[in-house]
Amino acid sequence: MMTSGDVESPFAMPGHDHASCIMTALDGAEAICARRGERLTPLRRRVLELVWRGHSPVGAYDILALLQSERGRVAPPTVYRALEFLCRQGLVHRLDSLQAFIGCGQPGNDGDGRHAAHFLICQDCGTAVEVRDGQLDGAISRLAGRTGFAIADETIELSGLCAACQS
């Protein structure tokens, strides 16, 4: 049984400089797209930047509204296509439970650009944190092996309250 003293919450981001989160994400995206021969157009780049506004998932409509406030008329399919591209490249994850998008903090580490995405989502502060757990990965691949199931897409979304929001 863990006491609260043992909790190392991934939600706590001490001394957090979010401008550098955004910069890292954009630089990483440029490098990944260049390596794959994909084009990170100015629009795709701006959409990625808007997804990275914070560490809370952002809806497509919010992104559309922000773009429209900057550029005037922007057709919704333009935004959907940009988001689809970013998801396909593994730069952004779609969270089905919220119908929203969040930037990936570790893109490009996997061959085809997509990786299993496991998220803890706080229902109070709205922060979503991508976590990696070797034991969970192992359990899922054992399950797939045992059932002969070929996993095409793996996203796990756990909703609840982060450590800070519980107090």
What residues line the site for Zn ion (CB under 5 A)? 18, 21, 104, 122, 124-125, 162, 165
User: Smallest distance, Å, CB 28 to Zn ion?
Assistant: 11
User: Smallest distance, Å, CB 14 to Zn ion?
Assistant: 12
Q: Residue 15 or 148: which CB sits closer to Zn ion? A: 15
User: Smallest distance, Å, CB 18 to Zn ion?
Assistant: 4
Q: Residue 36 or 71: which CB sits closer to Zn ion? A: 36
The residue among 125, 137, 63, 124 whose CA lies nearest residue 94 is 63
**CA–CA distance, 101 with 39 (Å, rounded to integer):** 20
Q: Residue 27 or 124: which CB sits closer to Zn ion? A: 124
17, 24 Cβ separation under 8 angstroms: no
User: Smallest distance, Å, CB 45 to Zn ion?
Assistant: 18
**CA–CA distance, 101 with 80 (Å, rounded to integer):** 11
Angle at 28 between CA 69 and CA 63, to 5 degrees: 20
